[in-house]
Structure 1
């Protein structure tokens, strides 16, 4: 083996090492950017459809009280519909935000949490244990969250204005405090548009 071969092998090793480091750096930068995007977009705020408002699909569900809740019968004021489950950590974590909104707005806002796919007993136990006072609906077969308001994940919350149009949609949750602020801002916007 002559000196030229050794030098060429060293150069090849250096080039391969530099290329490997470059690939690793690109992967790290891409991962950071993707994670930032995911973290920054935990909430999906669709662009406001100014040209034509999208009507919220009507649905009927049985409340824990045994009464029927029909969306169209509750219009005339904003309605906040939340799709959730007791096994969903972020869903359970944001429930105090809905309770606070219920206290803040009283009869000016309708709040209904539609449970996706669980038995009435499980939901009733959860509500009793936590002392929530807003409406809870049962969708044991998850037909509403699958067919009428299809979503890829929960929690999924829809703010419907007094005219029955979808004003905002929210996917995901972080903390009750942050959720409260986000929902309150959206509700205030809807209430102020009506004036």
Structure 2
């Protein structure tokens, strides 16, 4: 009988934690972090890779400066669509941060959000993240549009989508790093 009562109490506490707004996001982030640690994105088979036409993504930096990302024009690109209020995004950002620290000088990182720059800046400072958040100044290209965030892409130097991942993932995995190293070695030749 005591086990049933204890289970009921634990169940009620968990429900209450999900209902109370201050605890909802941290719990959701924690659950999504489990997904991040368990799941690493992998490259598409060659036949499934979508070829994007070369284009220039018109963006604005967090400080308000014009910025462009040249997609399919000779540089490997990591694109992320994310938001500060999104628990799966928050869960995977530390893995993106680690990848950015190691590959930021070799790969164009484009982390796109639709939020107010001041809010994003405060969020990045609070989380101690140095990822390059940018804001779109054009419509999302049709081949990259998804209604789900986070949605992340690794695009090779010619514009092929090598990895497309919806939902949280471990971007700092050995598999992702091998994929990036391979793409960078192809670009060097």
Q: Shorter-normalised TM-score: what interval?
A: 0.5 to 0.7
The structure richer in helix per residue is 1
For residue 81 of structure 1, report the CA deviation from its aligned partner: 0.7
Q: 2:164 aligns with which of 169, 180, 190?
A: 169
- Structure 2 gaps of 5+ residues are 1-34
- Helix, strand or coil at the partner of 1:144: coil
TM-score under structure 2 length normalisation: 0.65
- Structure 1 gaps of 5+ residues are 1-38
The count of corresponding residues between Structure 1 and Structure 2 is 151
Structure of greater relative contact order (alpha carbons < 8 Å, 6+ residues apart):
2
TM-score under structure 1 length normalisation: 0.63
- C-alpha separation in 1, matches of 2:51 and 2:44: 12
For residue 179 of structure 1, report the CA deviation from its aligned partner: 2.7
Q: 1:144 aligned to 2:140?
A: yes
The structure-2 alpha-carbon separation of the partners of 1:65 and 1:170, relative to structure 1 and needing over 3 Å to count, comes to same
Q: 1:179 aligned to 2:171?
A: yes
The structure-2 alpha-carbon separation of the partners of 1:51 and 1:134, relative to structure 1 and needing over 3 Å to count, comes to closer
Q: Which has the larger radius of gyration?
A: 1
For residue 50 of structure 1, report the CA deviation from its aligned partner: 7.6
- C-alpha separation in 1, matches of 2:72 and 2:49: 25
The structure-2 alpha-carbon separation of the partners of 1:84 and 1:50, relative to structure 1 and needing over 3 Å to count, comes to closer
